[in-house]
Amino acid sequence: MLQLPFIRDNKETVLAGLRKRHFPNADATVEQVLALDQQRRDTQRELDDILAQSNAKAGQIGALMKAGDKTAAEAAKVETASLKARSKDLADTLRQLEADQQSVLVTLPNIPHTSVPEGRSAEDNEVVLEHGEKPTLHAGAQPHWELIKKYDIIDFELGVKISGAGFPVYKGKGARIQRAMINFFLDEALKAGYIEVQPPIVVNEDSGFGTGQLPDKEGQMYYVTEDKLYLIPTAEVPITNIYRDVILPENQLPVKNVGYTPCFRREAGSWGAHVRGLNRLHQFDKVEIVRIEKPGNSYAALEEMSQHVQGLLQKLELPYRVLRLSGGDMGFTSALTYDMEVWSAAQQRWLEVSSVSNFETYQANRLRLRSKVEGKMQLLHTLNGSALALPRILASILENNQTSAGIRIPSVLVPYCGFDTIS
């Protein structure tokens, strides 16, 4: 959530950032926030003045009674009662103004970093780099949704029977390669200095608000009505919320956590050839890296996280590219996002497998996550990234490595899964 002092002091910067995002009614919304803020501050000043007068009158009453001036004391009591009534009205007004202001503030997305390109959609994202050669497949090569049936490693129909569409059942070598990728991604993160955590996979409303999924993405999350809990869309939510309402000592920074969880997304309204097979699921596995940094270090940390994800893709021998997302395609809470996409040789298109983002103070403000840095209490910067999401990685491994004799497993995964070919 944007900080009010920042909006007050940097109105034009905020408006320029909202316009880069193509946020509707930016001017009107910012003016509404500032108007409510002015009313709130005026009300707070009046309330403080009334309370000061009330306290002064209370002190006068005792002195007047002691001096025997009962008439003046009674008049002072009447004035005090009037001041107390007024202070109650002002306190009620102040609470309502704060609630109104909060309800508008949470609708404002984060302000994009200056390097974020202009644009309205994914078509306007900037290609930062491309790595690796796209493979040339043998005649008769198939997309992964045909390969998984051919080798009987993932069963979508069985998933429909048990749960519904978008909940596949991994079998045999399909299940083993899933476990292999999870362990490989976790081990690589541990080598890079991340501390592993295993968080809950359901969260409460406060956690959803803290990382910005609520109130923005209710429709994309599964909700357990009776218990008022949400199934997580990513491990970012529970891991980052470990630090909600925490003041971190400076000597504990940076925080580097990694966690594996299943993830759940309703993906309402998704259909078409581009979501076939493993391309889009309601449940999938993902390893997530989360960092908490001093403000001055966060963009160096973002580049380091990008390099970490790229290193995983290189070890998996997958051709990939890195995109810097445009203002119109960025997530609600992000200040700068890099997407990593792998090349799907059978589908002849790029598949997103990771997003690495810096949220600056946007999440920290909601989380009230702070530290005394160089003697000054300040909000910290939060970052996270997929390292990696499994479904599209598996789809690309199956498609890119298929031969007439079977599917070759990347050498880095062989020690983890115990086989080098699916045949």
Q: Which domains does the chain have, with CATH numbers?
A: 4-105 (1.10.287.40), 122-422 (3.30.930.10)
Q: Please tell me the least confidently modeled range out of 141-155, 178-192, 269-283.
A: 269-283
- Answer yes or no: are the C-beta atoms of 417 and 409 closer than 8 Å: yes
What CA–CA distance (Å, rounded) separates 83 from 353? 62
Average pLDDT over residues 126-144: 95
Does position 274 have pLDDT exceeding 70, yes or no?
no
Annotated binding site for L-serine, which residues? 234, 265, 288, 384
Q: What confidence score (pLDDT) does residue 54 get?
A: 87
Q: Which of 25-39, 204-218, 311-325, 379-393 has the lowest mean pLDDT?
A: 204-218
Q: What 3-state DSSP class applies to 255?
A: strand
Binding residues, by number, are 234, 265-267, 288, 352-355, 384
Residues 6+ apart with CB under 8 A from 279: 351, 391, 392, 395
Packing angle, helices 298-315 and 173-191, rounded to 10: 140
Asked if pLDDT for residue 379 goes beyond 90, the answer is yes
Is pLDDT above 90 for 78?
no
In a 3-state reduction of DSSP, which class is residue 107? coil
The predicted pLDDT at position 244 comes to: 98
CA 198 to chain CA mean position, Å: 18
Q: How much is the pLDDT for 117?
A: 97
Give the CA distances from residue 383 to residues 162, 255, 298, 347, in Å, rounded to whole numbers and listed in that order. Answer: 36, 10, 8, 32
C-beta separation of 224 from 346 below 8 A: no
pLDDT for 212 equals: 96
Quote the pLDDT of residue 216: 75
**pLDDT of the residue at 70:** 77
> pLDDT above 90 covers what percent of the chain?
87
Q: How many residues does the chain have?
A: 423
The pTM of this model reads 0.93
Task: Tell me the one-letter amino acid at 249.
Answer: P
Average pLDDT for the chain:
95
pLDDT at 269 over 60: no
CB atoms within 10 A of CB 192: 16
Q: Which residue positions form the known binding site for ATP?
A: 265-267, 352-355
The pLDDT score that the predictor gives to residue 6 is 96
Cα atoms in the Cβ-side hemisphere of radius 13 Å centred on 114? 2
pLDDT at 66 over 60: yes
Residue 22 to residues 15, 28, 112, Cα–Cα distance (Å)? 10, 14, 11
Nearest alpha carbon to residue 333 among 293, 384, 285, 387: 384
With a pLDDT cut of 70, the percent of the chain lying above it is 98
